[in-house]
Structure 1
């Protein structure tokens, strides 16, 4: 095992160091003279690399699958130029000895491709240069330039689309991160390809210049230094120069074709061969080809022995494709259907998003990216705001369309439970009536889904008249988002789970590692921490200062409190924070208290059934709710914050009793109010009510 591990480490070391060593060898190849035999090895290796690059380019499904291509193209070009420098040195130094002086590869190219006639070789090389520079390289460079420009221009839109999909719950955060990385890589790739195309063009120009250097340098050296006649020098050095140029030009042509194939690819699940064969695999395309070739074969001047067989081949392809299209489909297993698109996946039946917003078809325009997707921006803002208020990251909202809903209806589900539904009109505005609005504005009379106010759905053109009449006018995206905000706020405890608790603990570890270590896994399990946090959130107690919550839990651990008593004890430690969420620091706390006799009766009821969720008798509960309703109405109408204050022994039971009727009313115990906080008792339930008439903050009474 140790030997295998050492071998693996040794191989990884070689792999990581191979590329720097190769680059150094390329530089040395340009400087240090090498024998002709190594030149042969280098030329064959160059051809092999070019063929491999071309095959990889042909078999990728999309350009990003070969994202290393620009760098590979640069290194291959440097390798070829280094071989050109080395071969030029050999040709000029030893060329007078014969055409085999620069190695057998150059000699073979000079003998086979140009037939021993260097004039023919010049024309062949010129044709290859024209094909490479004027056609392939220039076209690939233009495509690279345009692709890079379009990709960079589309980058902000693609990133906004990813954010919209993430907010809508169509993708997970990991998938969104992967898509952002792919978009960034795509922009980098096409930008690099735009520059890499210049390498190919420069390489072609360098090949032409090196050819002229070899010819003129060889002629001068052959005549002046080696006493050769001009004809002998021309025959030897021009053959060597052209052979050397062709040896370099063939791999350059292969790389140019690979670059053109990469930048002209369209993303597809198939490779280039499969993509072309699929798109050409239609019988209706080959029938006209066979007919036209048959007509051409009937022309007397045409070579029938060539045209008619081609027509027969095209006709055969048409017949085979036609036959395959008419063939009956293969029988499908009736038990398991593995056809793509018919397999039922887990993600189709599992609900992954805790919050779901379902829209009727008429409201889909509110999430249309072409129209700015106004609802998605509101949803994102709501998530950010609620996350700051609650103290944990609110999960993503999945926005979907539901054809079973009426066109203008929407539904909001939290944890799979339908918690709210209403109607909205995408092309209209909602005018809210504050109670003293002027008449004269007409529209569709409704109730505001969030606050129950009287409202009208009006046309866009009536906005100015509605504002002038005193209405508050909001757009449909704001209406739906506000409704979502209200329901999500009321369901904060349902949105909090073990993963969120673990995230709070992980963040605590970064700043207070000792506190986190003393909190979990002992004495509190993750489930216990989650339950306590959910109990706090159920009563609108934020978790922004989780450090204080953790310190309270650690301090209370030796008392071995049960879950409900632990919540009450932690609340007492968080008293200043709870009070601060109700009124500002400098204002007294408006409070509604219970008469002493009623308070004693409430405490006795709880002590009689300490483990009961509803310890109060039904008649007593109805009396309490009725009396509290009478006491709080003036504050609710004035939209002023206040709290119901009672004994610590019955606070939890009273809070559960009042929560169903008064979801926004905070119920505090005496021990949760800081000693320095002033309290203004505005009503006493069960005794003689003392309601505030104008300003609930005008009286300053210290909390008892």
Structure 2
């Protein structure tokens, strides 16, 4: 254990010892000075923090310091009452020197300190802590939404967003803790009053009964010691209470408390002239000694003159900066500045002015929140980090239209009616359900825009009714899934590798940079995402790449090995638990035809199939797929591992949504039922 941590534990043990074991007066003097030093350090630190979270340990520290002071009170009380008034040099000095040996004056000073601490500072700090905690908790949802909005707008990164969210949580915890910790200070003030009263009463009893002193002598002796003890205790307590008030009332700024006070209080030098003139007038028109008022007035006048002269110098120094800023504006207008306009956003969502309420939180729009959920959902499902989605309005679009762009190119668009609901038929149309005919944008299904009055009736008729925000969210999700392989570049691949390296450093070291570069790994991952296969299980993917990376540099072939290693994942993706997998198989003749057409080159293999045969195979596949869809099953093509990737390349232009599996990509327990065969005739 580090020495610093051990010293804190030892201090807590010392507090317990103080409560139980009588301490020698020399040790008590030493601990009293430490108590005063602690209080000074705490108030100085609180004055030099720029924001409350820089002193986040303060609530816990406040409890420990209060407990230490109360333990010290027990020790001093034991010393005063048990040692015939011998409580140590520090307490005696405070009783004799500080208050001039007058017990009554000392008691009055003590009462004033307690009133200032209890009624003014502690009460105010307690109220500020309570209000601060309440307002911080109430503001958390708004701050979270603001962070999400900045994140989706690309103004901050994911790391900055995490730091901001963490800071918000810490602020809520801090003000909640301060709300409770301020009760310690309040209780400490009450305990100080009670201890002083007990010491005076029992001091008189001990002095008169046990020591046989007269009433006046006993009162003077024990009252002075008690007041000295009270002052020794209450002065640090007052400093701690003041530090509490400073911390909870401190707003975040660029400087410490001294810097902010001097900067803001002396921001208007002319006001010092006014204050100085007022003080000087008091000396001339009242019985106050003119020497006192004229000295203060002169100091204020000189201060105002010096501050005014400094302001002029600052303004002169600022003029070249203004020229520089003008130069910067000219640079912005220069032709070279167009370089900044070359930045292309990975994903853009643009909408017409009629859809602004969809994204405006003040009008009830929750599109920004939905975008955040989409990114999280795709990270869980696909295992990729979706780039920040840029959301903006576009006056060139029709009011109710929206457009989705991938790397600057439009890949999808749609239309929304914000005051309607989209209803999709269950297969049997209800003539009573009427509306504006449209097409569901994500899957291309026929649908209707219906009014809110007809929503309940449509749901009773079996229609799937969706609100406009859900329509656009589903569309955006499907578009990102469809183009996920385009969004995963080398930089994004490097991020995934770095994340994997935190838990599997040996595995990553065996794969990259040798034998595979980041570009090779990116191509394998792109191949998987292109067929909507999640890359979340990176350890298995890298294990396979480590096994076969030394054997081949063909990324398409390595993708096939990876797919076979992900057999369990693919089986669960296409075959429901306990349900058979319905497929269209590729005949042996077609597989032989495809295998014979494969040509090997130094850059890899490619399919060189006769156009007539290609057309025949594709038509046969399309016929079987349509027949399978009509029977209510999701179309899946099944073939041998040797030709799977070539079959996929053959049909991806015509049927990109149809998955192609090989026998090696299915677990042995999966029941496969063939509902059609591609014969190529």
- TM bucket normalised to smaller: 0.7 to 0.9
Q: CA deviation at 1:235?
A: 2.6
8 Å Cα contact 2:280/2:293 also seen in 1: no
Cα distance per residue 1:134-174 (max 9 Å; x no partner): 22222222333343444456667766776787788766554
2:385 maps to which of 380, 388, 395: 395
8 Å Cα contact 2:515/2:550 also seen in 1: no
Q: Is 2:167 aligned against 1:215? A: no
Q: CA deviation at 1:125?
A: 1.9
2:11 maps to which of 8, 22, 43: 22
Match of 1:615 in 2: 608
Q: Secondary structure at the residue paired with 1:248?
A: helix
Alpha-carbon spacing, 1:478–1:569, altered in 2? closer, same or farther (3 Å): same
- Mapping of residues 173-572 of structure 1, within 5 Å: 174-280=159-265, 282-283=267-268, 286=271, 293=278, 305=290, 320=307, 324=311, 327=315, 329-332=318-321, 357=349, 363=355, 365-367=357-359, 374-376=366-368, 378-379=370-371, 382-383=374-375, 386=378, 389-390=381-382, 393-396=383-386, 398-404=388-394, 406=397, 408=400, 410-414=402-406, 418-431=410-423, 436=429, 438=431, 441=434, 443=436, 447-453=439-445, 460=452, 463=455, 472-495=464-487, 498-499=493-494, 502=497, 520=511, 525=516, 527=518, 528=520, 530-542=522-534, 560=552, 562-568=554-560, 571=563
Q: CA deviation at 1:439?
A: 8.5
Q: CA deviation at 1:559?
A: 6.3
Match of 1:77 in 2: 66
Q: Is 2:40 aligned against 1:56? A: no
Q: Secondary structure at the residue paired with 1:24?
A: helix
8 Å Cα contact 2:386/2:487 also seen in 1: no
8 Å Cα contact 1:110/1:116 also seen in 2: yes
Q: Is 2:127 aligned against 1:134? A: no
Distance 1:460 1:321 in 2: 67
Greater mean deviation of Cα atoms: 661-670 or 566-575: 566-575
Q: CA deviation at 1:664?
A: 0.6
Alpha-carbon spacing, 1:481–1:559, altered in 2? closer, same or farther (3 Å): same
- Mapping of residues 673-692 of structure 1, within 5 Å: 677-681=672-676, 684-685=679-680, 687=681
Distance 2:327 2:114 in 1: 52
1:666 maps to which of 621, 645, 659: 659
Distance 2:211 2:574 in 1: 103
Cα distance per residue 1:514-569 (max 9 Å; x no partner): xx699856996474555434323323445577787678767767965843344445
Cα distance per residue 1:225-278 (max 9 Å; x no partner): 444332233333322222222222212111111112222223333333334445
Distance 1:107 1:93 in 2: 15
2:95 maps to which of 97, 110, 117: 110
* TM-score, scaled to structure 1: 0.75
Tell me how many residue pairs correspond in the alignment.
657
Distance 1:361 1:439 in 2: 33
Distance 2:89 2:344 in 1: 67
Cα distance per residue 1:427-482 (max 9 Å; x no partner): 54345577956488455x65443233455656545645776898754222212211
Q: CA deviation at 1:22?
A: 2.2
* TM-score, scaled to structure 2: 0.77
Distance 1:350 1:387 in 2: 28
Greater mean deviation of Cα atoms: 610-619 or 657-666: 610-619
Distance 2:298 2:255 in 1: 29
Alpha-carbon spacing, 1:79–1:679, altered in 2? closer, same or farther (3 Å): closer
Distance 1:419 1:60 in 2: 52
Q: Secondary structure at the residue paired with 2:321?
A: coil
Q: Secondary structure at the residue paired with 2:599?
A: helix
Alpha-carbon spacing, 1:338–1:616, altered in 2? closer, same or farther (3 Å): farther
Q: CA deviation at 1:126?
A: 1.8
Q: CA deviation at 1:296?
A: 7.8
Distance 1:120 1:679 in 2: 104
Give the unaligned 5+ runs of structure 2.
Answer: 333-339
Distance 2:513 2:472 in 1: 44
Match of 1:86 in 2: 75
Greater mean deviation of Cα atoms: 33-42 or 543-552: 543-552
Match of 1:642 in 2: 635
8 Å Cα contact 2:276/2:296 also seen in 1: no
Alpha-carbon spacing, 1:655–1:493, altered in 2? closer, same or farther (3 Å): same
Q: CA deviation at 1:483?
A: 1.4
8 Å Cα contact 1:441/1:465 also seen in 2: no
Alpha-carbon spacing, 1:108–1:500, altered in 2? closer, same or farther (3 Å): closer
